[in-house]
Chains A and B, each alone.
Chain A
Amino acid sequence: MISSHLPALQVVIPLLAAPLCIVVHRAKAAWVIALVVSWASLAISVRLLERVLQEGVVVYSMGGWAAPWGIEYRIDEINAFLLLIVSGGSALVLLFARVSVEREIEAERRYVFYTMWLLCLTGLLGIAITGDAFNVFVFLEISSLSSYVMISLGSDRRGLMAAFRYLIVGTIGATFILIGIGLLYMMTGTLNMADLAERLPAVADTRTVKVAFWFFAVGIGTKMALFPLHFWLPNAYAYAPSAASAFLAASATKVAVYVWLRFYFSVFGASFSFDAMSLSDILLPLGLVAALVGSAVAVFQQDVKRMLAYSSVAQIGYMAVGISFVSVNGLIGAIVHLFNHALMKAALFMVLGCVFYRLGSVALRDLDGLGRQMPWTMAAFVAGGLSLIGVPSSAGFISKWYLILAALESGSWPIAFLVLLSSLLAVVYVWRVVEAAYFRAPLDDPSRRVVEAPVSLLVPVWLLVAANFYFGLETSLTVGVAERAARTLLGAGG
């Protein structure tokens, strides 16, 4: 009985748990609630993924109202995979969050942080699970508003400005999406995605639908930080509390990429989006520029968190490149990278959380000699960095493999070469940190007695690092699901 309502519970449980955090008003209790809810939702995600893999698409009508009148949740391989990424990211990062948050957020505001965390989780899971276009917008707003608050809770006052900027840009992006949805509703009279997909071809050749198409591109592009709409991201990630950076890096932009896939492959259909509207002509260059410029800018950052944030811009570029090939291998590359990038960025931001816990800073110049003082922490950074570079046996290698394969299949080896060039830039920015940590003498400051981070922080970090290498060698889950998802997406568009 309960198992048939899992899709609804996936959203309802975190939504109800959020006010509960306010009621209990105590940081520790709020953390326990958030943790339990996250692990429960991870369990639900696993169960849903199993069901999708066995039985195919799972359809759930909210409140028993049949679509297209009611809101319908539709889960196929790709959103089941997304649910896994989001809930898994939340569950693992929360293990780390308690100690890290105690260091970074004032005592009386901590429960707010967990409340917002749960709301953000609700929003992200909701976007991933729903089959209703307007519902996507609603959940998008829930997740965005709560993440603005999370970012502004950081100890650095510049976080306020970053959150404000994110608020403005994010709202503009969401408005574009809303306009797009409105135009589609005007033309088709439905908000259900499956319905939209059926009715759109008849009106596809109208200016309204084409305008809606580009409104979506700008709106979703902003949300996923696609170059050149990425400018909100570096500061937001850099000044947010470490735990929030790790969670958002692992989930927020990933969900936006999912929305992109969903709208352009399932709703508009691959042939309309990529043949008629030539979306690839824009997506491919933007993705390549993002991959190269993002990495190149990362090389010059003095703040390691900002460096990782720019690296995220580059990684989004990879996904855009993968999508632009509109081929099975390209989509596998993009979808697998959603998962793998979540693994590596969560791990790396958590490492920086450990560093911040001891140093109160993540500036490159403060990392001198840290390799000796915090050996486990910095070893985790090196391991995560290797995955980011895409060294074979790491998760990053698998995504890159498929991206390059897709580029070569499409007959464009220069693209393959540019992708590889960008990963060489990753070597440079990762190695700047390695050299600081291992080749410079520790700062000669008597007030600074740095010791290894607490075990409670290191355990979740190393869990994620291990996952980076596990999923670099055993890919039947990631590549297996991604391949089915890719075929579903391409099949849906005809």
Chain B
Amino acid sequence: MTSAAALLPYAIALPLAAAPLIALARRHPNLREAITLVAGGALFWLVLSILPEVEAGGRPAISLLDTVPGLPIALEAEPLGMLFALLASFLWIVTSIYSIGYMRGHHEQNQTRFYICFAVAIASTMGVAFSANMFTLFLFYEALTLSTYPLVTHAGTEKAKRAGRVYLGILLGTSIGFQLLAIVWTWSLCDTLDFRPGGILRDRASPTVIGVLGALYVFGIGKAALMPFHRWLPAAMVAPTPVSALLHAVAVVKAGVFTVLKVAIYIFGIDLLAELGVTDWLLYIAGATILIASIVALRKDNLKARLAYSTVSQLSYIVLGALLANSWAAIGAGMHIVTHAFGKITLFFCAGAIMVAAHKTEVSELRAIGRAMPITMLAFLVASLSVIGLPPLGGMWSKWYLGVGALEADQIVFLGVLMLSSLLNIAYLLPIPVRAFLSPPSTESPPEGMKEAPIPCLIALLVTAVGSVWLFLSPEPIYRLMVQAVGP
């Protein structure tokens, strides 16, 4: 066992260990937040120190315990998981900085519970990222659902309770009803659930069964928010904004599409999917989700709701990438996990900053807000461009590779979907910064008393906005990792 392998359990244990410490420090907010930040920094460093071995082609792995004979809880670092773990642990630090400004500026109740659940959710995310088999992944997937439930319902109001019902109902419903069925089925066919390059299902099942399994997995992974199982994501927006930012733009939803990618690459094997073509009809569901969610986003006046539907749409890019079943598309999907994360988290940070500083939640209220909050709105503009997929921002690369993948798969129609979606993105995102900077202030309410967001919020949203630019300039580390996972 290599030293990197020995580190893997600590990637989960570290944020878990932070939780009781946070609870102990509940009477000392500064100490409490310091613990979160230190844990975040340590976690990122820890994940980073696993990276060199994976980049060198190693696959550090460790088996923790055998639950049922042949069904171990085991961890393994492979390129795709590495990418996801790096992303989530880095953004946890940034979000923690942001949370300090937001939660205090917004005078939220029960902040200790918030930070505890957050730490547990991050631990679960690390577990998802480093799972060596589908069983382990499912365990952490459900832990992630349950640990984020108190965050979604944080406000404790009737509205939050209802949102929590939708959240839990859809996520548990799909995962128990479809995903678990698919997992047990896979197990009964293959006698293993290990993630293996090239997949485990080849020659184990008829094309029909593989088609059914594909649908069970894709819909069963409700966190990927494929329509019609997307309602939980807009519902989750009732949570405090840092939760929407990190969990519902990055950790939770990306855990979903990450799982879809893992299943496509390591359970089915993309060659098998391409050969059989039995999951092609799911491509149309993903394509429809991309377009319909964008159109719904257009019609939402509430800023967070608009961003949520935008996320639903963007997640299906990744599902599409997985189902197009070729290396280019898979590379694009992997990159999109990262670039969309940076773009969307920035947008949410901005939405939260506006809420804290100006107490505005609706798009129509944001006229001329750029004068009072120039930094925030500039970051919003940058992130919008990245989500749309324009240079010089990271979002361009992932759309590029996804487009190449669509051509490679002879699915021209999906190239069209991607283009059309970019246009829709422009239509629902760009008016916001444009109106903020260019439209004159409405006469009856001069932006008096409006000011920039708290400093921690600004730091966070600048870091992620700059990150989007940086991803455009040097995408090749991500490209290299993805090539390792799926071949060029």
Contact = CB atoms under 8 A, between A and B. Distances in A.
> Is the A/B pair a real complex?
yes
Contact of B153 (A391, A424, A439): A439
Nearest to A398: B68
A408 B205 CA distance: 13
Contacts of A417: 177, 181
A219 interface: no
Interface in B133-161: 135, 138-139, 142-143, 146, 153, 156, 158, 160-161
Interface in B374-395: none
Given A409-B188, A435-B161, A473-B67, A427 B177 contact: no
Interface stretch (B9-17, B100-108, B168-176, B362-370): B168-176
A479 B176 CA distance: 22
A393 interface: yes
A82 to B, nearest CB: 21
Given A392-B142, A409-B188, A474-B65, A416 B181 contact: yes
A420 interface: yes
A421 interface: yes
Most buried by A among B135, B138, B139: B139
A427 B172 contact: yes
A479 B73 contact: no
Nearest to B160: A439
Contacts of A391: 142, 146
Contacts of B185: 408, 413, 416
Given A391-B142, A392-B138, A404 B172 contact: no
A340 to B, nearest CB: 13
Interface in B155-204: 156, 158, 160-161, 165, 168-169, 172-173, 176-177, 180-181, 184-185, 187-188
Nearest to B179: A420
A405 interface: yes
Given A435-B161, A439-B153, A401 B181 contact: no
B146 A386 contact: yes
Contacts of A423: 176
B161 A405 contact: no
Contacts of B161: 435, 439
Interface in A419-449: 420-421, 423-424, 427, 431, 435, 438-439
B184 A401 contact: yes
A390 interface: yes
A475 B71 CA distance: 11
B228 interface: no
A420 B181 contact: yes
A260 B446 CA distance: 79
B449 interface: no
Contact of A424 (B139, B158, B172, B187): B172
A404 B180 contact: yes
A421 B172 CA distance: 11
Task: Indicate the member of B160, B161, B165, B181 with the most A CB atoms within 10 Å.
Answer: B181
Contacts of A389: 172, 176
Interface string A286-326: 00000000000000000000000000000000000000000
A435 to B, nearest CB: 6
A234 to B, nearest CB: 25
A476 B71 CA distance: 12
B279 to A, nearest CB: 18
Nearest to A419: B181
A163 to B, nearest CB: 37
A334 to B, nearest CB: 16
Contacts of B160: 439
A413 B212 CA distance: 11
A405 B69 CA distance: 14
Nearest to B177: A420
Nearest to B185: A408
B280 to A, nearest CB: 22
In this complex, which of B172, B177, B180 has the most chain A Cβ atoms within 10 angstroms of its Cβ? B180
A421 B184 contact: no
A472 B67 CA distance: 7
A408 B188 contact: yes
B68 A479 contact: yes
A393 B138 CA distance: 10
B138 A431 contact: no
Contacts of B153: 438-439
A475 B181 CA distance: 21
Q: Bin the interface of chain A by size.
A: 20 to 34
Nearest to A478: B68
B42 to A, nearest CB: 25
Nearest to A441: B156
Contacts of A474: 65, 67
B146 A404 contact: no
Contact of B139 (A393, A398, A400, A479): A393
A322 B115 CA distance: 42
Contact of A427 (B156, B158, B168): B168
A401 B184 CA distance: 7
Contacts of B156: 438-439
Given A393-B139, A475-B67, A424 B173 contact: yes
A238 to B, nearest CB: 26
Contacts of A405: 184, 187-188
A413 B181 contact: yes
Nearest to B173: A424
Contacts of A472: 67
Contacts of B168: 427, 431
A97 to B, nearest CB: 32
A427 B165 CA distance: 10
B62 to A, nearest CB: 16
Nearest to A408: B188
Contact of B68 (A386, A424, A475): A475
A390 to B, nearest CB: 7
Nearest to A332: B68
Contacts of B138: 392
A413 B66 CA distance: 26
Contact of B176 (A390, A408, A476): A390
Contacts of B65: 473-474
Nearest to A393: B139
A8 to B, nearest CB: 35
A404 B187 CA distance: 11
A386 B180 CA distance: 16
B184 A408 contact: yes
B20 to A, nearest CB: 14
B120 to A, nearest CB: 13
A421 B142 contact: no
A392, A427, A431: which has the most chain B beta carbons within 10 Å? Answer: A392
Given A408-B188, A413-B185, A420-B177, A401 B146 contact: no
A431 B169 CA distance: 10
Contacts of B146: 386, 391
B177 A421 contact: yes
A473 B177 contact: no
A475 B160 CA distance: 38
Contacts of A404: 180-181, 184
A38 to B, nearest CB: 30
Given A439-B161, A479-B69, A424 B176 contact: yes
A438 B156 CA distance: 8
Interface string B115-127: 0000000000000
List 9 A-B pairs, minimum CB-CB distance, nearest first: A392-B139, A404-B184, A439-B161, A408-B188, A420-B177, A405-B184, A392-B142, A408-B185, A391-B142
13 contacts: A386-B146, A389-B176, A392-B138, A393-B139, A408-B184, A413-B185, A417-B177, A417-B181, A427-B173, A438-B156, A439-B156, A473-B65, A474-B65
Interface of B: 65-69, 73, 135, 138-139, 142-143, 146, 153, 156, 158, 160-161, 165, 168-169, 172-173, 176-177, 180-181, 184-185, 187-188
Given A392-B138, A408-B188, A416-B181, 12 more contacts: A390-B176, A391-B142, A404-B184, A405-B187, A424-B176, A435-B161, A439-B160, A439-B161, A473-B67, A474-B65, A476-B66, A479-B69
